[in-house]
Amino acid sequence: MAEGTFTNRLAKEKSPYLLQHATNPVDWYPWGEEAFQKARAENKPIFLSIGYSTCHWCHVMEEESFVDPQIAKVLNDHFVSIKVDREERPDVDHIYMQAVMAMTGSGGWPMSLFLTPELKPFYGGTYFPPQDRWGRPGFVAVLNAIHQKWSNDRESLLKSSEDLTQALRAETERRVIEKHELGKETLQKAYEQLESRFESDRGGFSDAPKFPQGHVLSFLLRYWKRTNESQALEMVEKTLTEMAKGGMYDQLGGGFHRYSTDREWRVPHFEKMLYDQAVLSKAYLEAYQATGKSEYAEIAREIFDYVLRDMVDEKGAFYSAEDADSAPDPSKPNEKREGAFYVWPKEEIDTHLGKEKSEIFNDYFGVEVHGNAIHDPQGEFGNKNILYVAHSVEETAEKFSKSKEEIEKLLDESKKMLLKLRSQRPRPHLDDKVLTDWNGLMISSLAFGSRALNEPKYAEAAKKAADFLLSKMKDKDGRLMHRYRDGEVSIPGFLEDYAFFTHGLIDLYEATFDPVYLEEAKFFTEEMIRLFWDEEHSGFFLAGRDSEKLIARSKELYDGATPSGNSIATLSLLRLGRLLVNRDFENRAQKTLESFSKELTQYPSGYSQMMVALDFAIGPSREIVIAGDERDPKVQVFRRTIDSQFLPNQVMIFRPTAGGAQKKIELLSPFTKNQNMLNQQATVYVCKNYVCDLPITETEQLRNLLAH
């Protein structure tokens, strides 16, 4: 970014994205009443720019347009310019993304809109080059055209803004609900739609670009479990295997990049998002439980290692993202290129590894003299290598006449050496804000990972993050907040904050058996219903009834890069309904499914996380109660027996034998009162939909029962 001598109002903000624009010559305002009043007082249209701090094309538009004094002058003279961090204000982002998609048929970031002073949109798009290019209108031409239209034909703009706003309200505030029957046939239709899109050569469900879709894979695993449809499992395994082999996976440091620009998963868009690590680690863990294949467990561990090394603050909360761009040359920190931190010239590898190791490393990871990027749309990877698994360990061992174990040892040593070397490079920008919703997803995956991998350290990391949110992100009235950064807690929480954090708390309870987390999950679920529930049509709104009023109050169902709040809320209601014997929670889950049943029936594969919830609702589901002393080795054996298996539609509760924890559990979950130890032995009660089998005191009995 070009250095400027300007400082605008964004310098007072906490958002890393807004701060990136604080020295632009554009007279930026943050979203708020000051900007709205200025637009109304001066009768100017609003230019609304929405993005996030690790967005590559947001950086490009800034460097091309927002640091240009001439373009800034046009904006400052004729518009009121507002910057919004989509990760801080998903409500604003969602409403205006709907507007852009209605106007253009597609959306993305940076998002560029023009609004009336009453915040009603009349024109918009995504990235605009400064001048006409690639079939896109230039930003300067767009600004001048809108200024002329606002000056000479304002009524037509006002009318189009009113029409579009009414259409948004009609869509987002929900029409009369059409109820459709949801059942096993819905799950089958979702599977068939995914199977028809499956890319059999390389996995995934599109050609290029390819996005990781962890919740799609989680649904397919459940469908396989339900139906024994082998193709469902094959699609999951092919996708997980190919993703982990590709350049989209950080072969040295662990963790997944945002998406692949090609169909082979070879050339990624290099940003790393916390939510991808959370969703994908869960999918790998479930695949490990389902298949027993250690390579899936290893990828999950490497993801967790990355997050706990590079994405966590000293208090245990998780940061949001790392940028795709960084400086290849430490002496020129402002000259950044995509992927510079991650790519390698062959000679650098050769120099640092030496002849034997480099030959083996280069063969295994596909390193070439002139670089190996098969897709380089911006010409940034010349003579550079993106590490990917080009050959199997067995193939490499045969080629170099070594044992498999020798090759694995050499590769492990080489990876550690190059990771240490890479750590000395200028790092990509770290978006260090803490978001409650994304932390909730990560807490859930770490807690689940501690069970699936029998690794207590992951539960400890999840616990530390949850305790941070509970201590810092609840205000004095118990209202959950959305964002923490630099000591400041701000923005009332959205549906995703409540739903995702509750989801994490349930998993954390099942990992630790600490009833505090179950108690908090119940509290936040009741608050979620109070703040977000649609009393007229059921389901949940994105923003709370106490949040800022926008031009429409929206709902979200589509499961995109992250699952929707409604999908996770529905699953959490079902899980807590079973854990606490709370019929109201289960009834609201049922009503939520019914309220979206038209969409779910028409295109169920677009709502894969909601299909996970529907799969749970259809059942059969299991309620497992372990009664005993947590220190009893037999209790731990029972736990390992349960945790090592893929049992997606189950909840688990622990009933201590005495003390305050016993009283708290019995108060939270009254049905556990009569589930005592049998003959003074640790005892397991396995129930299906509240109908319980005989109590179990032997591990083999439990294993046999869970297998059926």
225 and 133, same domain (yes or no): no
Query: What would the pLDDT profile of 250-278 be if each residue is shown by its tens digit?
Result: 999 999 999 999 999 999 999 999 999 99
The CATH number assigned to the domain holding 85 equals: 3.40.30.10
Instruction: Return the pLDDT at 5.
Output: 63
Question: Is a pLDDT exceeding 80 seen at residue 133?
Answer: no
Query: What would the pLDDT profile of 598-608 be if each residue is shown by its tens digit?
Result: 999 999 999 99
Question: Is the distance from CB of 610 to CB of 559 less than 8 angstroms?
Answer: yes
Residue 630 banded pLDDT, cuts 50, 70, 90: confident
Query: What would the pLDDT profile of 646-667 be if each residue is shown by its tens digit?
Result: 999 999 999 998 888 888 999 9
294 and 422, same domain (yes or no): yes
168 and 210, same domain (yes or no): no
- CA–CA distance, 550 with 309 (Å, rounded to integer): 39
Instruction: Return the pLDDT at 2.
Output: 42
The number of folded domains in the chain is 3
Query: What does the pLDDT average to over 553-570?
Result: 93
652 and 701, same domain (yes or no): yes
Q: Which of 172, 189, 223 is the last residue of a domain?
A: 172
Please state, in angstroms and as integers, the Cα–Cα distance from residue 362 to each residue in 354, 396, 676, following that order. 11, 10, 60
In a domain, 398, yes or no: yes
Instruction: Return the pLDDT at 110.
Output: 95
Query: What does the pLDDT average to over 301-320?
Result: 97
User: Which amino acid appears at position 345 of this protein?
Assistant: P
Query: What does the pLDDT average to over 47-72?
Result: 94
Nearest to 2 by CA among 332, 427, 425, 342: 332
> Where is average pLDDT lowest: 67-76, 101-110, 295-304, 485-494?
101-110
Query: What does the pLDDT average to over 630-644?
Result: 94
Q: What is the mean pLDDT of the chain?
A: 94
Query: What would the pLDDT profile of 9-34 be if each residue is shown by its tens digit?
Result: 999 999 999 999 999 999 999 999 99
Q: Which of 119, 154, 172 is the last residue of a domain?
A: 172
155 and 270, same domain (yes or no): no
553 or 10, greater pLDDT: 10
In a domain, 91, yes or no: yes
160 and 261, same domain (yes or no): no
Percent of the chain with pLDDT strictly greater than 70? 98
158 and 239, same domain (yes or no): no
Instruction: Return the pLDDT at 173.
Output: 57
In a domain, 456, yes or no: no
In a domain, 584, yes or no: no
170 or 280, greater pLDDT: 280
- CA–CA distance, 87 with 482 (Å, rounded to integer): 10
366 and 220, same domain (yes or no): yes
In a domain, 493, yes or no: no
Percent of the chain with pLDDT strictly greater than 90? 85
Instruction: Return the pLDDT at 661.
Output: 85
The residue segments making up the domain with residue 703 are: 620-708
- CA–CA distance, 66 with 71 (Å, rounded to integer): 7
Angle at 555 between CA 552 and CA 559, to 5 degrees: 140
91 and 213, same domain (yes or no): no
In a domain, 565, yes or no: no
Q: Which of 125, 146, 172 is the last residue of a domain?
A: 172
Question: Is a pLDDT exceeding 60 seen at residue 175?
Answer: no
Instruction: Return the pLDDT at 172.
Output: 60
255 and 155, same domain (yes or no): no
Query: What would the pLDDT profile of 662-705 be if each residue is shown by its tens digit?
Result: 889 999 998 888 888 998 999 999 988 777 888 999 999 999 99
Residue 8 banded pLDDT, cuts 50, 70, 90: very high
User: Which amino acid appears at position 366 of this protein?
Assistant: G
Question: Is the distance from CB of 422 to CB of 341 less than 8 angstroms?
Answer: yes
Q: How far is CA 701 from the centre of its chain?
A: 38
Question: Is a pLDDT exceeding 50 seen at residue 1?
Answer: no
Question: Is a pLDDT exceeding 60 seen at residue 317?
Answer: yes
In a domain, 436, yes or no: no
Instruction: Return the pLDDT at 3.
Output: 46
For 674, the 3-state DSSP assignment is coil
In a domain, 390, yes or no: yes
256 and 397, same domain (yes or no): yes
Q: How far is CA 148 from the centre of its chain?
A: 41
- CA–CA distance, 358 with 303 (Å, rounded to integer): 25
Say whether the peptide bond before residue 110 is cis (omega within 30 degrees of 0). yes
Question: Is a pLDDT exceeding 60 seen at residue 708?
Answer: yes
Residue 177 banded pLDDT, cuts 50, 70, 90: low
163 and 215, same domain (yes or no): no
> Where is average pLDDT lowest: 121-125, 174-178, 352-356, 393-397?
174-178
Query: What does the pLDDT average to over 441-466?
Result: 98
- CA–CA distance, 542 with 142 (Å, rounded to integer): 32
